[in-house]
Copies of this chain bind each other. A is one copy, B any other.
Amino acid sequence: MIDHRRLRVALLGAGSVGSQVAHLLLTQAAELAERSGADLELAGIAVRDVDAPRDVDLPRELLTTDAEGLIVGSDIVIELMGGIEPARAHILTALNSGADVVTGNKALLATHGAEIFDAADQVGASVSYEAAVAGAIPIVRPLKDSLAGDRVVRIMGIVNGTTNYILDRMDKEGADFADVLAQAQALGYAEADPTADVEAYDAAQKAAILASLAFHTSVPLEAVHREGITSIDKAMIDGARAAGYVIKLLAVCERLPADGDQGEDGEEISVRVYPALVGRDHPLASVHGANNAVFVEAEAAGALMFYGAGAGGIQTASAVLGDVVSAARRHIAGGVGVGESPRMSVPVAPIGRITTRYQITLEVDDEPGVLAHVASILSEGGISVATVEQTVEQPAEEAAAEQAPAPRRARLVIGTHHAREQALGDTVARLSSSDVVERVVSVLRVEGE
């Protein structure tokens, strides 16, 4: 028989994840004690309103509105309230009173992570946050521990289930963004106000956390370049498919190659979230529905991918409990918590400094010499062309009905070799103001090639 120690666990928040965590702590107590070596006593659950309706029936006597009173004297504090305050204040109270902290609060970590990790390091406590990125998928621990002896070069993550669900249905059904969004809202896959998801605020928070972890730095949320998916239409999805790609909202975190522009150590990273083209044979292309996946390239390990459910109360609760068991084991083993690795300050480059491939779609006059003209503008901008496909557009019916014959238009789809974003942007601006280019239809980055 093992002599179990008793650890006092405080839970802050009883939303969809919190109520599942409470339920599992109460119903799986014997298994959790076996795994952790400690009896995990749920001392209380801090909520805003003890009478609010809950997904899961929780013992009334555990509910309290006095979070600070609950925290003091606890060994492990689980923060699942979300938001910045009072979550931040409660976590600092917990750390300063000697508790280990487990949180799933991506907004807080993306904005106040450095402050919280420093506070933990000072008292030798730990802050675990597997639930903050990609729900149930173990990605924080692999990056922090498994790859600790390796050097991460690039991360490409599908880290927002709502947008992946929308893009996947648009791809499968040839449907338009607004229609799929409405369906997703009806089915509960998207919020009534979908801004945080479709404008990629949620994904940007996760990108900041992933990049901070992978590159041992502290990436401010403002440094993350962010573009949402609201401009993605059926034509772009179809064009992607025709060229052998699928459009995914990607969080890309990468080390930039040294070229003299970098910060003091010659190191520079890029952290960005945008819809990008991914080759259909890339492992990320097969991530369907509301699933998440994080594709990691490391110098020694090569390419790794971590796949699973990105959200959901019960799924995310699994990640929280994994962290709780680890925190309990640390308590039993004695010794101080292992904090974040020493953090360097690695500068985040502006988006203009990244290098990737692009797909530029132009509507041009269908006249001799147009392609040559476009090609010369690209060449002058230093943009090297890999592929060009030209299709003549059928004149629209309204135009055909008019007196004067409508000018024939052609569509040019240009795939570039790797180019600097700054040079690409300048060149697209010149294309846009050129006489032969009617319209720049779209410019999409190609990732993973």
Contact = CB atoms under 8 A, between A and B. Distances in A.
Interface of A: 2, 20, 24, 28, 31-32, 34-37, 130, 136-138, 141-142, 145-151, 216, 283, 286, 298-309, 312, 314-315, 317-326, 329-330, 332-338, 341-342, 344
Q: Copies of this chain, how many?
A: 2
Given A329-B338, A333-B335, A334-B336, A149 B34 contact: no
Contact of A320 (B149, B216, B321, B337): B149
A38 to B, nearest CB: 12
Kindly list the 7 A-B residue pairs having the minimum CB-CB distance in the complex, ordered from nearest. Answer: A149-B321, A335-B335, A138-B146, A300-B318, A301-B318, A148-B325, A136-B301
A306 B307 CA distance: 6
A53 to B, nearest CB: 22
B325 A151 contact: no
Given A35-B149, A333-B338, 5 more contacts: A28-B149, A35-B148, A138-B145, A147-B318, A149-B322
Given A302-B315, A303-B309, A308-B305, A149 B341 contact: no
Contacts of A335: 330, 333-336
Contacts of A20: 300
A149 B303 contact: no
B141 A146 contact: yes
A147 B151 contact: no
Nearest to A295: B307
| Residue from A145, A298, A304 with most neighbouring chain B CB atoms (10 Å) | A145
23 contacts: A24-B149, A32-B149, A34-B216, A35-B148, A35-B216, A138-B138, A138-B146, A141-B145, A149-B320, A298-B318, A299-B318, A300-B314, A300-B321, A301-B318, A302-B308, A302-B314, A302-B315, A303-B309, A305-B305, A329-B338, A330-B335, A333-B338, A334-B334
